[in-house]
Amino acid sequence: MELLTPNLGYFVWALVAFIVVFLILKKFAWKPIIKSLNEREQNIAGAIASAEKVKAEMAQLQNENEALLAKAREERAQLLKEARETKDKIVNEAKEQAKAEASKIIADAQQAINAQKMAALTDVKNEVGKMVIEVSEKVLKQQLAGQDKQEEYINSLVHSIKLN
């Protein structure tokens, strides 16, 4: 049992040694250790504050970036809308111009057709007039005694003339 119970003398000397080491550590070691711990704590707090500041700046930059993207999308949509409107306007103007030109060409063609028609009718009238004059001339030149012979001669002349 002697091994389990400590001797009172050893206990006192161990306690005195512990107190001496404690006082020496308190005077020489604890101040630098506490100082370095405080400095480390301040560095960590500064780093956390810097990280929070950077995080806030990143959030602000992200918000600004999103705002710029939204503005860019809006401008792009506006430009596309304007381009579509311009395209539609140009296409409509081209269609209207083509319709106007087509109407003008059709009107000119109708006028040309009418002019040619009138010229053809005039030519036909002139030809018919010439034929009538020729037939009348031939009838008058020939002095026929009877009316039957005159009608026969007129019919033969009519058959001999070819109409164009």
Residues in contact with 131: Cβ distance below 8 Å, sequence separation at least 6, in sequence order: 161
HSE toward the beta carbon, residue 35, CA cutoff 13 A:
6
Complete DSSP assignment for 81-135? HHHHHHHHHHHHHHHHHHHHHHHHHHHHHHHHHHHHHHHHHHHHHHHHHHHHHHH
Per the CB < 8 A criterion, the answer to whether 118 and 104 are in contact is no
Q: What is the CA radius of gyration of the chain?
A: 63
Query: pLDDT tens per residue, the chain (164 residues)?
Result: 465 666 778 888 889 999 999 999 888 888 888 899 999 999 999 999 999 999 999 999 999 999 999 999 999 999 999 999 999 999 999 999 999 999 999 999 999 999 999 999 999 888 888 888 887 777 666 655 567 777 777 777 778 776 64
Selection from 116, 130, 117 nearest residue 163 by Cα: 130
**The length of the chain, given as a count of residues:** 164
The two tokens of residue 29 are: 């070691």
> What's the pLDDT score for residue 164?
47
Measure the CA–CA gap between 113 and 156, rounded to whole angstroms: 37
Per the CB < 8 A criterion, the answer to whether 164 and 153 are in contact is no
